[in-house]
Amino acid sequence: MKVKLPLITAAALLISSVSFASEWQQQTGWVLAYSHDSQGNVVSGDISTLSDAIANGADVKVNYDSSSAGYATFFDCEWTFVKSDYVACTNTSHISVQSALGSNFGFQDNAYHWYIMVNTEGKRDMSRWRVGAHESVGHTQDRTAMNWWVRVN
């Protein structure tokens, strides 16, 4: 059952709780298809639901565990790889921000491209490169809990 929420400002949405962000996602046609912990163990949903939706052309969005920071972060999968029990996706369109909250709102003065690749085993790979230069700013590999959302158009 969908719950109708009052209209809010974009700023309020940005600083809202993870649970509110989840409710908003559902209202806009996104459905939580699969969740796993940092080791890839199922928390909710079914991997076949996710992989079937992708194989049938669904849009995919991922959010990873940022609950300790008090906000929710979502990114669109621009490229997906799927087989029956495994999904991976990448996003390469992000430019670094100084902050998305408060008085520091804006892009960094010395901005970089931020590329991310994640999979349903809990693995996350991030690479950062200076805008306008082929200069690495760092490469991080770690594991994190993730939620995988789908929207069938």
pLDDT digits (tens, 9 = 90+) for 59-102: 999 998 666 666 678 899 999 999 878 999 999 998 887 766 66
Chain position carrying tokens 């209202």: 27
Q: Is the dihedral of CA 64, 65, 66, 72 positive or negative?
A: positive
pLDDT digits (tens, 9 = 90+) for 41-65: 999 999 999 999 999 999 999 998 6
Q: Classify residue 113 by burial, with Cβ atoms within 10 Å: 0-12, 13-18, 19+.
A: middle
Mean pLDDT of the chain: 80
pLDDT at 152: 72
Asked if 121 and 144 count as a contact pair (C-beta separation under 8 A), the reply is no
Q: What is the pTM of this model?
A: 0.74
6 contact partners, CB below 8 Å, separation of at least 6: none
Statement: residue 3 has pLDDT above 60: no
